Amino acid sequence: MRMHGIKNRAEVVVNRCQKLAGFSEDLASTRRTFLSPPMHDCHREIAGWLSPLGVKVSIDAAGNLRGVYPAVERNAPKLLIGSHLDTVPNAGAYDGILGVVLAVALLEALGQRRFPFAIEVVGFSEEEGVRFGAPFIGSRALIGRLDDELLSRCDAQGISVRKAIENFGLKPGKISQAVLRADTLAYMEFHIEQGPVLEKLGRPLGVIDTITGQSRLEFTFVGRANHAGTTPMDVRYDAIAAAAEWITAVERLARDTSGLVATVGRINAKPGATNVIAGEARLSLDVRHGSDEARTGAVDNLICLAEQIAKRRGLSVSDNTLLNQQAVRMDPILMNEIEEAIRKTGCEPHHMVSGAGHDAMILAEKVPTGMIFLRTPGGISHDPAESVEVEDVAKAIECGLHLLDQIASSKA
């Protein structure tokens, strides 16, 4: 391989990611949620890179960008490579997007060379769960799990997922056409690590063995609103005070349980006035662990603690499960192929667990799936300071090209 050419391609990848970051709902920062207007710009830009390569680009009914690079023969199976195009608020330029742009770079590096399988670049419309509180809308469509309940979920403006799809110019009735064909070979995803492990080890690339399971819930404490100045402390039913006590219990349990992470990332109070005791507090809960038993046990414990705190304070509490995603093991054969491809780049692979959720964990329900992490400088992600090293991106391109050759050899 011509390393000089690969490094140039890596620089193009970085520049393209930064350009896509400019397609945003906000003027001063990057925020691109499910089928928001800037997603049109994102699709148009990526399609412009793919079309000269002979790639047929389409947008499925769930808003996923799909670009098919043809195989040597017609009606060949497909290998999927991609990631997500949506972002969190105040996002960096590489989370998700890098995996899609790297897929494009791999096709460009092939020089029109074909394989016994087609290569489909996938840019998922939604992974983060920002707009509707439930993640993986895009990848769920590919495995047939975009059901009526999810399509009816509404955002803060009262717009349902179904209506958002219609507003984007797509037809919800055609979502079933997005489902993967039975002969799909595999799904591969390149992604920044979003953590400090690879940097600490001095390694540019890592092999994902397992993606931790996730539980996402919403809790609502209901007390009684009253005047902040005239209500004595001993006759208050303060929803925020109950929520605060429970939040510290969440942190305590996570600190005391090996491998467990638990986060209350959002709290909304009503009526939300400085001089009024809160009558209601609504909170999010995110719990993750590599063991499903440990994760679900922790969630049950936290529900019981919320009920105990509410009862002692004379309040009520309810919980609603938004996501219960099991831990997912990556395909062992693909893990071995990725490890070999990384070694061919002259790097020592590192096997690791992903604490973040990814579209790969959804696709793994239907097809063999593998993930490759790129080192994240400073371990910073979901922030404008998020970055990658050009040299690491070059190693990822080189790894991807080796991987395509290896898969082709195994199918010969």
Both 61 and 94 in one domain: the answer is: yes
Q: Do 372 and 191 form a contact (C-beta atoms < 8 A)?
A: yes
What's the whole-number mean pLDDT along residues 69-76? 94
**Phi and psi of 221, rounded to 5°?**
-90, 130
Provide the 10 A C-beta neighbour count for residue 304: 10
Both 110 and 83 in one domain: the answer is: yes
Q: Do 95 and 381 form a contact (C-beta atoms < 8 A)?
A: yes
Which pLDDT band holds residue 325 (cuts at 50, 70, 90)? confident
What's the whole-number mean pLDDT along residues 256-264? 95
What's the whole-number mean pLDDT along residues 259-269? 95
What's the whole-number mean pLDDT along residues 108-133? 96
Burial of 199 (0-12, 13-18, 19+ CB in 10 A): middle
Residue ending a domain, among 325, 342, 371, is 325
Spatial neighbors of 76 by CB under 8 A, at least 6 apart, are 116, 117, 118
Q: Please report, as a single letter, which amino acid is at residue 208.
A: I
Both 61 and 174 in one domain: the answer is: yes
Of the candidates 355, 360, 317, 288, the residue with the CA atom closest to the CA atom of residue 83: 360
What pLDDT sits at residue 412?
61
Both 163 and 239 in one domain: the answer is: no
Both 47 and 37 in one domain: the answer is: yes
Both 308 and 358 in one domain: the answer is: no
What pLDDT sits at residue 410?
86
The domain that holds 228 is classified in CATH as: 3.30.70.360
Residue with tokens 């397992």: 210
What's the whole-number mean pLDDT along residues 145-164? 95
Both 294 and 145 in one domain: the answer is: no
Separation between Cα atoms, residue 36 and residue 383, nearest integer Å: 20
Q: Do 382 and 329 form a contact (C-beta atoms < 8 A)?
A: no
Separation between Cα atoms, residue 331 and residue 383, nearest integer Å: 31
Residue ending a domain, among 275, 310, 325, is 325
Residues written for the chain? 412
Provide the token pair at 157: 């403006």
Residue ending a domain, among 325, 341, 356, is 325
Q: Is it the case that residue 369 has pLDDT exceeding 60? A: yes
Both 126 and 230 in one domain: the answer is: no
The domain that holds 62 is classified in CATH as: 3.40.630.10
First to last CA, the chain: 22
Which pLDDT band holds residue 4 (cuts at 50, 70, 90)? low
What pLDDT sits at residue 134?
85
What are the residues facing 83 on neighbouring strands? 123
What's the whole-number mean pLDDT along residues 210-237? 96
Q: Please report, as a single letter, which amino acid is at residue 289.
A: H
Residue 57 DSSP SS3: strand
Both 63 and 149 in one domain: the answer is: yes
Q: Do 372 and 78 form a contact (C-beta atoms < 8 A)?
A: no
What pLDDT sits at residue 14?
98
Provide the token pair at 132: 């509707």
Beta strands in 11-101 (DSSP E): 56-59, 65-69, 78-84
Separation between Cα atoms, residue 354 and residue 363, nearest integer Å: 15
Separation between Cα atoms, residue 397 and residue 7, nearest integer Å: 9
What's the whole-number mean pLDDT along residues 268-297? 96
Which pLDDT band holds residue 357 (cuts at 50, 70, 90)? confident
Q: Is it the case that residue 176 has pLDDT exceeding 80? A: yes
- Mean pLDDT taken over the chain: 95
**Cis peptide leading into residue 271 (ω within 30°):** yes
What's the whole-number mean pLDDT along residues 36-47? 98
DSSP state string for 160-200: BHHHHHHHTT--GGGGGGGSPPTT--EEEEEEE--SSHHHH
Both 305 and 175 in one domain: the answer is: no
Residue 220, H or E segment: strand 213-222
What's the structural domain count of the chain? 2
**Phi and psi of 321, rounded to 5°?**
-85, 125
Q: Is it the case that residue 3 has pLDDT exceeding 90? A: no
Both 59 and 173 in one domain: the answer is: yes
Q: What is the pLDDT of residues 89-117, one digit of tens each?
A: 999 999 999 999 999 999 999 999 999 99
DSSP state at residue 30: B
Q: Please report, as a single letter, which amino acid is at residue 302.
A: L
Both 315 and 384 in one domain: the answer is: no
Which pLDDT band holds residue 290 (cuts at 50, 70, 90)? confident
Q: Is it the case that residue 30 has pLDDT exceeding 90? A: yes
Which pLDDT band holds residue 280 (cuts at 50, 70, 90)? very high
Q: What is the domain extent for residue 340?
A: 3-212+327-411
Provide the token pair at 404: 């395509």
Percentage of the chain modeled with pLDDT above 90: 93
Provide the 10 A C-beta neighbour count for residue 164: 26
Q: Do 160 and 151 form a contact (C-beta atoms < 8 A)?
A: yes
CA-CA distances (angstroms) from residue 51 to 58, 67, 70, 125?
11, 9, 12, 20
Of the candidates 168, 161, 158, 159, the residue with the CA atom closest to the CA atom of residue 145: 161
